[in-house]
Amino acid sequence: MMKFRFRRQGADPQREKLKQELFAFHKTVEHGFPNQPSALAFDSELRIMAIGTRNGAVKIYGAPGVEFTGLHRDVATVVQLHFLPGQGRLLSLLDDNSLHLWEIIPRDGCAHLEETLSFQPPTRLGFDTASASPSFFRVTVVLLVAANSRAALGTEGSNVFFVDMDTLTLLETETLGPDEILRSLPEDYRCGKALGPVESLQGHLQDPTRILIGYSRGLVVIWNHDARCVDHIFLGNQQLESLCWERSGNTVVSSHSDGSYAFWPVDSSSSLVSQPNIVTTPYGPFPCKAINKILWRNCDTGGHFLIFSGGMPRASYGDRHCVSVLQAETLVTLDLTSRVIDFFTVHSTRPEDEFDNPQALAVLLEEELVVLDLQTPGWPAVPAPYLAPLHSSAITCSAHVANVPAKLWARLVSSGDQQSPQTALGASSWPITGGRNLAQEPSQRGLLLTGHEDGSVRFWDASGVALQPLYKLSTAALFQTDLEHTDSLGQAAEDDWPPFRKVGCFDPYSDDPRLGVQKVALCKYTAQMVVAGTAGQVLVLELNDVPAEQEVSVASVDLLQDREGFTWKGHDRLSPSTGLLPWPPGFQPRVLVQCLPPAAVTAVTLHTEWGLVAFGTSHGFGLFDYQRKSPVLARCTLHPNDSLAMEGPLSRVKSLKKSLRQSFRRIRKSRVSSKKRPVNANSKVQEANAQLAEQACPPDVEVAPVQRRIEPRSADDSLSGVVRCLYFADTFLRDAAHHGPTLWAGTNSGSVFAYALEVPAVAAATGSEKWPEGAVEAVLGKEVQLMHRAPVVAIAVLDGRGHPLPEPYEASQDLAQAPDMQGGHAVLIASEEQFKVFTLPKVSAKTKFKLTAHEGCRVRKVALATFASVACENYTETCLACLTNLGDVHIFSVPGLRPQVHYSCIRKEDISGIASCVFTRHGQGFYLISPSEFERFSLSARNITEPVCSLDIHWPRDTTHVSSRLQELPKLSQANGTPSIILVSRRSPSPARSKGAGDMLELLETTLSPTCMDLASSANTTLNMTGDVTVEDIKDFVGSPEESQQHMRSMVQDRASAYTFLIQ
């Protein structure tokens, strides 16, 4: 009898509505430190900080939870950032010589960052510069004069341009050329070399009409902008790097390329100063590097601060990244971990104040942000509530723990506080406190665990927008590494000069690559965890609130005990330290299990209620009873041809010849199998039946989609024995009447092993006297081999209601709903190609979904998540979330495995981002968009963590014109990762610009560009375009300039204000 599978066209409206209430995709916030920072700015009135990056991102930070993110339309490096104090406006200079004005605009009770104006300085002016190169007009320095809404632009051609900040237009009549300066100089100085580029522009706090201008040649002048004359001239001869104007205006400090700085007096009796009062080379007399930036801050207590970057002796310390802090006779040379980008001080900027009185020093480095408290003796570092360098050691794995109990949370915070020396020194609080966080307090606490290359595990507070460090666990002290850790950067000379002080935590170098953490698992109810590493080490730890000195038990599990003829060619195992070892408060090791051979651990799971830990490598998997400290099971999964598994990830002796031979063998087999595949005698009958089925289909019914042909994988593929997943479950394995502990293991070759466990603790709890005090035993109950031998990614057991089983101690302590043990259980096996549900205990196929056959992609990450409805608070669904190798996220119902929604999440080229993705239990996820940043996304329509904040801005002008001259342009919402489309209100670069056909053509060309078409594609819609879009193709849609102007006026009248859809 012929069987046809049909499905109705269309979808159930009720179900579609329910999907909208359950699922929604948002990229919400970027956690961590911005990748490749290039510029820094600080608003002393609003207490907010801005960081620009090399990919054109602008990020503004205030109090924890206050964040704003913007991205320039063109990918260009942000060279400089400048705030207009108290106005919420930010000017950015890019390396393409363009200027962009950003504004923090309040709307609907929240604030949003929008780019409102842009300006490209001209390459030709009214005066004769026909022979000048384009670099002659390149902007080198920017000074904002907030008093009269002006911006002064210094250029490489010694010019100073002035731009109106309200319209971002050039004020050509106010341009200051080098000729006006040269006329005021003495004849002998004028006849020398050219002035060079403008290196520094500084405004006077109390007199904004006076501008301090420094040229590369060394000349420094005070220019009176209103009178258009030179007030003072300082004849310097050493190449200038930076300038600083003392608060009272009586002294100017200059720094130079030879590592010196000089003090120049501003004397009203003489307008020409030929020599400085003091010239000092702090790290001389030998040749020194340039002092790139210098600040002078005075104090009411007398000892003034002099802060500068660079200036180190070239020969001995030329490779150091340093910022020096000098107060009176105290000099501290901050030895930093990476290149210095910029720095600023948090101090008083009110004109009526007589002193600066700096509170803190913030230094932006290439890899982290360092903040020092200048009011506390010793100038301790201030712990950052955000912007922590996630990549202080390279991230090797990550895991998320949801609904952390309050008791465990408090213990982790306490252990972390005892690790922080800044807390003991009594450092002040975080100085960047601008804005207000309007987001609600998180209903539950979430932990993000990251394993690192140096053997450490870091605990992060991932409950809200700000990813805060809580606690750091280090496992390196347990082992004897090949290289002893020596702080070569912290060693000073015998006379302690320069007085180096190591600051910062970025340290990408690992003593031993075998220390790298590969897998982490935490039980939040018993405060026990397991950490597995690259050299086969499996460490079981327990949280202790007091320091202890104890010896760690060591056990070995040989995963090749029943195999012969295999020789391990990889790295040796780590040697554990012997004797009593001191352990600080926090997680302390109980037992160390060493896998043999010492290959990297590929899977691990922990069941604290049974006292068991399971682990897997490329050779097999083992089970260990850490309560009795005895091995329970060791199973080898190697195939006889699995030679690569014996070489390890760190081996340098892999045979290229052998690898090529295996590749050609696979190609030859595939060709032979395709040529010699027997012809099915019933093939013609099947084709005829298919044609009849198509003809018999009614108009409202369509046949199920054709599945792709998938060739089965060879059983002797290399690394086929890698254990991909391990899972503990209390379910029915032997028969349908008795349930008990089980262990499930899935391998790279599509094999699934299910073991029935006899656990004395469980037997005693159920009243059985069979194993009251005996050891744990494991008996192989089932073995499943998937047809296509696709790697098994995840395994989960579903109870009678189709819900996943609770975690250890959740049901026994009434922390979660008890599983249904009356109805039949099922096991969900997710491979790289398909999802399949089997009934238990018979292990017969119940339902499946072939993802690779339908979608042409492979599964990379899988998790069961609970989605709550936004319409009904008590309605939830448990679904399967899946990330594919194409970067798409698919959601399926459980246990029916019906596709619900799918979204484009990560670029398919971002292999590291896909590999680093981790899902949460409530429909969110994290993935790395750079070595130092996690992108957070949400699949739930209800559970969303995103910045919701406001900023108290003092507007000096009427802002109604912001929405009166609007032009909607596509804007990227994410600084990294997969961008989303936003409509951002944007003002025209010039008020005199026509709003006719030219603007409409530009708008249409922008909208129809291939880049924007890619960005505008939604999760379920694909927009394809071929060919080039020309003016001829769209001229029928443009009309005359008069029609375009009328159309634009009607658009502005229809909307009183601009509507901007922001995805933060």
pLDDT score of 668 more than 70: no
- Are 798 and 787 a contacting pair, CB within 8 Å? no
d(CA 358, CA 1054): 50
Q: In what order do the strands lie in the sheet with 139-145?
A: 139-145, 150-155, 160-164, 169-170
Q: Where is average pLDDT lowest: 692-706, 750-764, 831-845, 874-888?
A: 692-706
pLDDT in tens, 492-534: 444 578 999 999 999 888 878 999 999 999 999 999 999 999 9
Q: What is the pLDDT of residue 766?
A: 53
Q: What is the pLDDT of residue 88?
A: 92
pLDDT score of 71 more than 50: yes
pLDDT score of 823 more than 70: yes
DSSP state of 249: S
Three-class SS state of 610: coil
Q: What is the pLDDT of residue 40?
A: 98
d(CA 20, CA 32): 31
pLDDT score of 24 more than 80: yes
Q: Model confidence at 1053, in pLDDT bands (50, 70, 90)?
A: very low
Question: Which has the higher per-residue pLDDT, 1061 or 687?
Answer: 687
Q: What is the pLDDT of residue 658?
A: 54
d(CA 524, CA 534): 25
Partner residues linked to 436 by β-bridges? 950
Find where tokens 């989605």 sit.
Answer: 867
Containing H/E element for 927? strand 924-930
d(CA 586, CA 928): 27
Q: What is the pLDDT of residue 959?
A: 45
pLDDT, mean of residues 560-579: 86
Q: Model confidence at 832, in pLDDT bands (50, 70, 90)?
A: very high
- Are 554 and 576 a contacting pair, CB within 8 Å? yes
pLDDT score of 892 more than 80: yes
Contacts of 409 (CB under 8 A, 6+ apart): 445
Q: What is the pLDDT of residue 687?
A: 52
Residue-wise over 74-97: b if at least 16 C-beta within 10 A, else e? eebbbbbbbbbbbbbbbbbbbeeb
pLDDT in tens, 464-503: 999 999 999 999 999 988 654 444 444 444 457 899 999 9
For residue 625 the two structure tokens come to 């009873």
What's the one-letter identity of residue 648?
G
Is the torsion defined by CA of 271, 272, 277, 283 positive or negative?
Answer: positive
Q: In what order do the strands lie in the sheet with 57-61?
A: 37-43, 48-53, 57-61, 67-71
pLDDT score of 1030 more than 50: no
Q: What is the pLDDT of residue 973?
A: 41
Partner residues linked to 323 by β-bridges? 309, 334
Q: What is the pLDDT of residue 132?
A: 55
- Are 794 and 726 a contacting pair, CB within 8 Å? no
Q: What is the pLDDT of residue 494?
A: 41
Q: What is the pLDDT of residue 707?
A: 56
Q: What is the pLDDT of residue 133?
A: 62
**What are the two backbone dihedrals, phi and then psi, of residue 521, each rounded to the nearest 5 degrees?**
-140, 140
d(CA 1000, CA 985): 15
d(CA 664, CA 643): 16
For residue 947 the two structure tokens come to 């910045």
Nearest to 448 by CA among 381, 380, 522, 392: 522
Three-class SS state of 628: coil
- Are 533 and 515 a contacting pair, CB within 8 Å? yes
Do the strands 844-850 and 834-839 form a parallel or antiparallel pair, or are they unpaired? antiparallel
Q: Model confidence at 696, in pLDDT bands (50, 70, 90)?
A: very low
Nearest to 57 by CA among 933, 917, 906, 909: 933
DSSP state of 513: G
Three-class SS state of 575: strand
Average pLDDT of the chain is: 82
Nearest to 543 by CA among 624, 461, 459: 459
Do the strands 548-550 and 581-583 form a parallel or antiparallel pair, or are they unpaired? antiparallel
Nearest to 305 by CA among 282, 275, 328, 276: 328
pLDDT in tens, 181-206: 998 898 888 876 789 999 999 998 88
d(CA 980, CA 69): 13
646: left (phi over 0), alpha (psi -120 to 50) or beta: alpha
Helix pair 997-1007, 1031-1038: axis angle to 10 deg:
120
Partner residues linked to 370 by β-bridges? 363
pLDDT score of 137 more than 60: yes
Q: What is the pLDDT of residue 483?
A: 53
- Are 350 and 359 a contacting pair, CB within 8 Å? no
Contacts of 395 (CB under 8 A, 6+ apart): 450, 451, 452, 453, 916, 928, 931
Largest CA distance in the chain: 111
Instruction: Report yes or no on whether pTM surpasses 0.85.
Output: no
Q: What is the pLDDT of residue 110?
A: 83
How large a percentage of the chain has pLDDT more than 70? 76
Nearest to 371 by CA among 503, 508, 471: 503
Three-class SS state of 316: helix
pLDDT score of 1000 more than 90: no
- Are 288 and 308 a contacting pair, CB within 8 Å? no
Containing H/E element for 256? strand 251-256
Q: What is the pLDDT of residue 625?
A: 95
DSSP state of 476: G
For residue 778 the two structure tokens come to 């494991």
195: left (phi over 0), alpha (psi -120 to 50) or beta: alpha
Q: What is the pLDDT of residue 732?
A: 93
d(CA 201, CA 215): 9
**What are the two backbone dihedrals, phi and then psi, of residue 535, each rounded to the nearest 5 degrees?**
-100, 25
Please provide the DSSP assignment of 405-444 as one string.
Answer: -HHHHHHHHHHHHHH-HHHHHT----S---SEE-SPPPSS
Partner residues linked to 222 by β-bridges? 212, 232
**What are the two backbone dihedrals, phi and then psi, of residue 593, each rounded to the nearest 5 degrees?**
-110, 125
How far from the centroid of its chain's Cα atoms is residue 644's Cα?
A: 33
d(CA 370, CA 382): 8
Find where tokens 């050329």 sit.
Answer: 177
